[in-house]
Chain A
Amino acid sequence: MKSQESIPTSKVARATQFAKAGVKVGTNYIKHYSKRIFDSSLTKEDLHTSNAADVYETLSNLKGSALKVAQMMSMDKSILPRAYSDKFAMAQYSAPPLSAPLVIKTFKKYFNKSPLDIFDKFDLNAQNAASIGQVHLAEKNGRKLAVKIQYPGIAESISSDLKMARPLAVQLLNLNDADIDRYFSEVEYKLIEESDYDLELKRSIEITKACAHIPDLFFPKYYPEYSSNRILTMDWIEGLHLKEFLDTNPSQEIRNKIGQALWDFYDYQMHTLRQVHADPHPGNFLMTADGRLGIIDFGCIKVIPDDYYDNYFALINPDTLNNDAEIKRIFWTLEFILKEDSPKQQVFFTDLFKKMIQLLGRPFDTHVFDFGQNGYVDEIYDFLEKVAKMPELRSANAARGSQHGLYVNRTYFGLYTILNDLKAVVNITKPVWLTPKHLQIKG
């Protein structure tokens, strides 16, 4: 990978980058509508595609928080038109790296040794960039290693970067203020947590140990002796990212195998560990031709509190949805309905959220679910888009659904999206108490 020629320097320079994107998006709209006068076949989709290209170009020149925003937006297909999210998905694979002397300096700071002395081989050119660091390929005693190095000073610049990204996000996402605030405070929290490599090392080791028994999954081994709070060393994992993997035309059997591994991984985390890898974006999964799934990057782990868990998953059981009193109680606890709501609003939101849960919980109502079936993920997508456009929600100032809900919903939505891309048929393993009566074996 070619090293970045220039990094936008001061805050002013970074701000101009954002401004550029704004102007370009504006120009695209003008171009679009003037073209439409002559060619009515141009669709909104074309417009979104050219917007996304420009916005992505701008964001990829920045690092850290801005890149993270791009990643999160690409994950949240629910609130972004598809063209944007496809383009943003690229942000998950590449961004320009930092200079070789700085890499060496960082190593010397933490290990008093150059990486060239620590490892048998060390490639000074980064293989790829994550949102807050870059990954180098190294070799020690014949093992290939991935060494993740955090950009110096990135942790301190998180909040100021996010403030600059805000106007652009408002323009693109079209959300109300309360949602934007929540969205940004969440990104900030996540980033700060992700910049703590000590924590990531600890969690990675814990979770990989706990999930080691799940078939067809594999994890890198982590090396505390070559890690510090700015450097993280683990095994280099072979495998392809989702898009590249699909390009190799894997058989249905292999797709199912990987899909099943993914489902089991999340099922176990959600219901047994009660803490989940809450970042199911395709960049974190590597797939092999023989149908195994490698999982990397445990920077974002969400712990699910017990009372939230009990309430939320009670809803997923289709039996609960027929019990109106119970639904009402849960909706109040989870803050889907707020005490400021008028009775009319209460009815409206109850209906809305009921529909949403029915939709998201549909796989739980069967033993085997075909995620490849046309339409299921699109149906969710359309529904969420419709919801986003509802004037009732737009005008509501308060954000709805508790903070935890955001993660859990996103995790499931991310999971479904990947399974849908894989076109996998999956056995829906789930705890007994979540299984609706008609699926339970009688006797």
Chain B
Amino acid sequence: MKNKLGEISLKDKIVKAYISHLLENGYKPNSIFEFCKKMKISEADFYEEFTSFSAIEQQVWKGFFTNALVQAKSEEVYDNYTVREKLLSFYYTWLEILKANRSFILRNFDQIKRPLCLHKNDEFTEFKHVFYDFANELLMEARETREVEQRAIPQIMERYPDIFWAKTMYILEFWVFDSSKSFEKSDTLIEKSVNTVFDLLARSPLDSLLDLGKFIFNNRK
């Protein structure tokens, strides 16, 4: 991200330096002191932006997300997409960005707790936060366009963003281990899983059945 003057912000500089240190050396910098010295910035400046290396990693994942979303939205047809297509479009762009950073991701992937969709990993905390905003925004739109059925049980409706998140983590994990040519299988997974989730959330025979059941229950003698 660039600030108003067109300069790269200190935050982004730190992130960049951190990633290249990792890729070149294969391990985290020994200390923040050493890292700052190499970057020629003061420790105080560093702490202004981040409190730890782990916070940088969180920022990296968040960055992948925001970049993907900005790119997906910059496609002129994006606004005319259905919610289903918006999500698809996000995932495809996201994977492209991940592809450009695959070495970074694979480097510490064995330290991440798997399966991703069942564990809470610190790396993704920030990413998760912004993703939920995105998911809620999509779901709100989907309720308006009737792509997602308004169901009477709020406990279920509240869980919808969790489903999206779990799916995202599942796609990430699948992609990491995907060995197909130019990750075609991951593309197929995205296409099919997004369709499946939306089919499950849309109005289904089960909704009608529930509706009927409610009616019969209320009118029992």
Contact = CB atoms under 8 A, between A and B. Distances in A.
Given A99-B85, A109-B182, A7 B192 contact: yes
Interface in B83-141: 84-85, 88-89, 92, 96
Interface in B191-213: 191-193, 195-196, 199
Given A5-B199, A109-B182, A153-B180, A104 B188 contact: no
Interface string B57-97: 00000000000000000011100010011001100100010
B184 A9 contact: no
In the complex, which range does the number of interface residues on chain A fall in?
A: 20 to 34
A152 B85 contact: no
A116 B74 CA distance: 13
A121 to B, nearest CB: 12
User: Chain B: interface secondary structure?
Assistant: helix
A156 interface: yes
A6 B195 contact: yes
The interface residues of chain A, by DSSP majority, are classed as loop
Contacts of B199: 5-6
Given A6-B196, A114-B75, A99 B191 contact: yes
A61 B73 CA distance: 31
Interface residues of B, number: 22
B185 interface: yes
A72 B85 CA distance: 33
Interface string A83-124: 000000000000000111110110011000010100000001
B196 A104 contact: no
A101 B85 contact: yes
Contacts of B195: 5-7, 9, 99
Given A9-B196, A101-B92, 19 more contacts: A6-B195, A7-B195, A99-B85, A99-B191, A101-B81, A101-B88, A101-B89, A102-B88, A104-B77, A104-B89, A104-B92, A105-B92, A109-B182, A114-B75, A152-B184, A153-B180, A153-B185, A153-B187, A153-B188
6 contacts: A10-B192, A98-B191, A99-B191, A101-B92, A102-B88, A105-B92
Interface of B: 75-77, 81, 84-85, 88-89, 92, 96, 180, 182, 184-185, 187-188, 191-193, 195-196, 199
5 nearest A-B residue pairs (beta carbon): A101-B89, A101-B88, A105-B92, A153-B188, A152-B184
